[in-house]
Amino acid sequence: MPTLIVLRHAKAAAGPGLADIERPLTERGRRDAAAAGEWLRADGRTVPGLVLCSTAVRTRETLGLLALDAEVSHEPRIYGNDADDLLALIRETAAREPEPRMLLLIGHNPSVHQLVHDLTGNAPDSFPTCALAVVELPGDWAGVRRGTGELVTFRTPKD
């Protein structure tokens, strides 16, 4: 049974003159991302074999602070912020050798929130920065469909 971890990037700075894709993490964002990484590593059951990460600075910084030992693929389609594109990327994971059992996707709202809702029908009302959802899926990555997943964990920086 594949497991998908969906993580919204940590808190990013908003500043004049910065392109959206170039926004770095705030100090709070750096703390939250490091804490999320500690939680993933400590749990032992939630260490991904593959990370799909947006190309934005804030997602790349979030990934670095997670301190995970996993293969990484930086995907421009994640920055495009479309839940259907995210679902397509997840399905494409089936073509990887070896096919990972656990996948981490680091992206942006509203698409990450919509993805969790689409997969499980059970998304929380909000998906704040550095929130993560763990979704168990039946079958394999190629067969991932809306409404077939089970939300087994939802964690925010305040948890």
Structure confidence by residue, pLDDT tens digits, 117-145? 999 998 899 999 999 999 999 999 999 99
Residues whose CB falls within 8 Å of the CB of residue 66, separated by 6 or more in sequence, listed in order: 33, 34, 36, 37, 40
pLDDT of residue 49: 93
Q: What is the pLDDT of residues 35-51, one digit of tens each?
A: 999 999 997 778 899 99
Judged against a pLDDT cut of 80, whether residue 15 lies above it is answered with: no
Q: Which helix or strand (DSSP H or E) is residue 66 part of?
A: helix 57-66
Is residue 16 very low, low, confident or very high in pLDDT (cuts 50, 70, 90)? confident
Residue 47: predicted pLDDT: 86
Q: How far apart are CA 25 and CA 32, in angstroms?
A: 10
Confidence at residue 7, expressed as pLDDT on a 0 to 100 scale: 98
| Rounded average pLDDT over 29-33 | 98
Compute CA distances 40 → 7, 64, 72, 73, 152, whole Å.
11, 13, 16, 19, 14
Report how far residue 148's alpha carbon sits from residue 56's, in angstroms, rounded to the nearest whole number.
29
- Between CA 151 and CA 87 the distance in angstroms is 16
Dump pLDDT digits (tens) for 145-155.
Answer: 999 999 999 99
**pLDDT of 53 strictly over 80:** yes
Q: Which residue in this structure is represented by tokens 């703390």?
A: 31
